[in-house]
Amino acid sequence: MPIRVLDPQLAAKIAAGEVIERPASVVKELLDNAIDAGATHIRVEARAGGLSLMRVTDDGSGIPAAEIELAFARHATSKLQSVQDLAAIRSLGFRGEALHAIAAVAQVTIISKTAGEAAATMLHFEGGSVTQRTSRGAPDGTAILVENLFATVPARLKFLKSPAAETGRIGDVAAQYALAHPGIQISLIVDGRLSFQSTGSGKLEDVLVKVLGVDTARGMMPVQPAEEAQDVRGGESKVRVEGFISQPAVTRSTRSYMSFFVNSRWVQSRMLVYALEEAYHTLLQVGRRPLAVLNIQVPYDEVDVNVHPAKSEVRFLRERDVFVAVQKAVRGALVDAAGIPLAASYPGAAAPAAPARWQPPAPSGAEPAPYQPALAPWRPPQVAVSALPPAEPARSSAGQAASATKLPPLRILGQAALTYIIAESPEGVYLIDQHTAHERIIYEKLKAEYARLAVSSQGMLEPQAVEVTPRQAALLGVHGQELADLGFQIEPFGPSSMLVRAVPAILAGQNVGQALAEILDDMTDESGGLAPQAWQEALITTVTCHSAVRAGQSLTFDEMRQLVLQLEQTTLPRTCPHGRPTMILLSQAQLEKEFGRR
């Protein structure tokens, strides 16, 4: 093919691809513009995952009638004049690309009015050009309607997920912007229903309650900017870190509950994630992640926001200072607050349940703490093992040689550290991890039942309302069938909750709300690339993990016996579904050697 300059319409579509990747990108850009225009109330609407319609309405400054066409020209902006300006950007937008890009890949209608104008101006764009211009009555501010996104860009449509998944991303953007701007009321209307609304009170706590739900918000504690923070060179730090982080007892299995804002701009940053996780070092179990909403204020001229087309990444002039500031602020909050739940003051929140007291870890280098039962408080088992169906008689005949995966007959001796079952066999002494062992049992049972679509479900005595984030709600839409096959019976209940009527029998008696939220979170991460089978597997594993007895639960002899009996029946008794060992063996030979008997 000979070289030729691209047709301008095609070139515009290609350029738009960098900025507008999916429906949520449109919402993000329009929110940026509304906030830059000084809006205090912003309404976001989406239909069919944003593909048929999205509309963002604000009460900001509006665009003067004479400038509206210009606003849609490429590289047209009111936010930047000179190269000097580029070095210290205060607005969210500055590239002058968004409106042009959106109009290149969708039909756009804008209605805008400034305070000084008598009437609003309405413009309609098709294929990037104005096809209609009228004047009409409308309140001050701007409304931008985006229809049939990507209808003319099949290459892009192909890569989108289901409407429910795209709606979930839009919900996520709305929630993140609400967290970044607690003083602005942001409402999200999905398919005609109000799905999320922040109060605009200016208090981050209020937004936290809306985004995370009262229960989780109650488990968050404030991070305050240090009075006299110092930077790495001992000078006064110019970095201020403020927001909320979770108590160590409140965790998630994904990182999707970490929000970072730099000068109120929502950003993605591995460095910030790392700084946060470092601060929690040794406080969380492997694989568990803290929740955080942190705004990092950095002098405008010390952060480069012009490194990503969607402006979602930034570069810091003094990265090390920022890292240290975040890590210190978080660590400081963890040590100071030591687990005192702040949210007793939340409006409408019931008195917090007995706070799970968190002990600061012993300074490194100190003697390992002696075993103190008080640190692992006894809790009645959430699932009584004896309540499980009695084990069936062993399948293998007694005379058959035990295969490497099979267990020898075990005699229970007791429980150690409320976590390990001690048992003996002719081979030696076994220490069995009660949680991983129970996981193995449940996993095999659940998997077999799921394959036959015969998972036993148990109705709840009283249906339980569970708060869900917009993203979780969207996922329930996508994965509803699989959840139903696993024994869940869930229905929508109000704008931000679900009513759980039945759960897999194996989960009965558990904290259903928390289990469901975590299961949905796991699916959030998985729903991307995983084949249906892979994530059904992930789903079963997650439900299993939530159903199994925990470490720290006291078990009776009978419960331990039942557990071990059932473990003997499984096909792979020596590992849990995650691949961790369920048991270790101290062989006779090892014991004899250790005691110098040989």
Nearer to ligand ADP, 306 or 510 (CB): 306
Alpha-carbon distance 435 to 97, whole Å?
54
Backbone φ and ψ of 221, nearest 5°: -130, 155
The item of ligand ADP, Mg ion, none sharing an interface with residue 79, based on CB under 5 to 8 Å by kind, is ligand ADP
Q: Which residues of 93-131 are buried (b: 16+ CB within 10 A; e: fewer)?
A: bbbbbbbbbbbbbbbbbbbbbbeebeebbbbbbbebeee
Least distance to ligand ADP, CB of residue 284, Å: 39
Least distance to ligand ADP, CB of residue 332, Å: 37
Cβ atoms within 10 Å, residue 350: 10
Q: DSSP labels for 536-550?
A: HHHHHHHHHHHHSPP
Contact flag: residue 566 with Mg ion (CB under 5 A): no
Instruction: Give contact residues for ligand ADP (rule: CB under 6 A).
Output: 29, 33-34, 37, 58, 60-63, 71, 76-79, 93-100, 142
Nearer to Mg ion, 102 or 437 (CB): 102
Alpha-carbon distance 197 to 475, whole Å?
19
Q: What is the DSSP letter of 581?
A: B
Cβ atoms within 10 Å, residue 387: 11
Which of 116-119's residues contact partners 24+ apart within 8 Å by CB, and which partners? 116/64, 117/62, 117/64, 117/65
Nearer to ligand ADP, 28 or 252 (CB): 28
**What is the DSSP pairing of strand 420-425 with strand 411-416?**
antiparallel
Q: What is the largest CA-CA distance in the chain?
A: 100
Nearer to ligand ADP, 268 or 306 (CB): 306
Q: How far apart are the first and last CA of the chain?
A: 82
Nearer to ligand ADP, 96 or 509 (CB): 96
User: What residue number has its CB nearest to ligand ADP?
Assistant: 93
Nearest to 39 by CA among 138, 142, 139: 142
- Of 2-10, 13-21, 33-41, 454-462, which part binds Mg ion (CB under 5 A)? 33-41
Contact flag: residue 33 with Mg ion (CB under 5 A): yes
- Of 26-34, 41-49, 53-61, 402-410, which part binds Mg ion (CB under 5 A)? 26-34
Least distance to ligand ADP, CB of residue 311, Å: 9
- Of 29-37, 108-116, 225-233, 441-449, which part binds Mg ion (CB under 5 A)? 29-37
Least distance to Mg ion, CB of residue 29, Å: 5
Q: Is 132 exposed, middle or buried (0-12, 13-18, 19+ CB in 10 A)?
A: exposed
Contact 174, 185 (CB under 8 A): no
Nearer to ligand ADP, 305 or 576 (CB): 305
Nearest to 515 by CA among 495, 500, 531: 500
**Residue count, binding to Mg ion (CB under 5 A):** 4
The item of Mg ion, ligand ADP, none sharing an interface with residue 142, based on CB under 5 to 8 Å by kind, is ligand ADP
Least distance to ligand ADP, CB of residue 69, Å: 11
The item of Mg ion, ligand ADP, none sharing an interface with residue 250, based on CB under 5 to 8 Å by kind, is none
Least distance to ligand ADP, CB of residue 502, Å: 46
Nearer to ligand ADP, 65 or 214 (CB): 65
Site for Mg ion, residues 54 to 113, rule: CB under 5 A? 93, 98
Say how many CA atoms lie within 13 Å of 306 toward its Cβ: 16
Nearer to ligand ADP, 265 or 471 (CB): 265
Least distance to Mg ion, CB of residue 105, Å: 15
Give the 3-state secondary structure of residue 221. Answer: strand
Nearer to ligand ADP, 50 or 513 (CB): 50
The item of ligand ADP, Mg ion, none sharing an interface with residue 94, based on CB under 5 to 8 Å by kind, is ligand ADP
Least distance to Mg ion, CB of residue 32, Å: 5
What residue ranges bind Mg ion (CB under 5 A)? 32-33, 93, 98
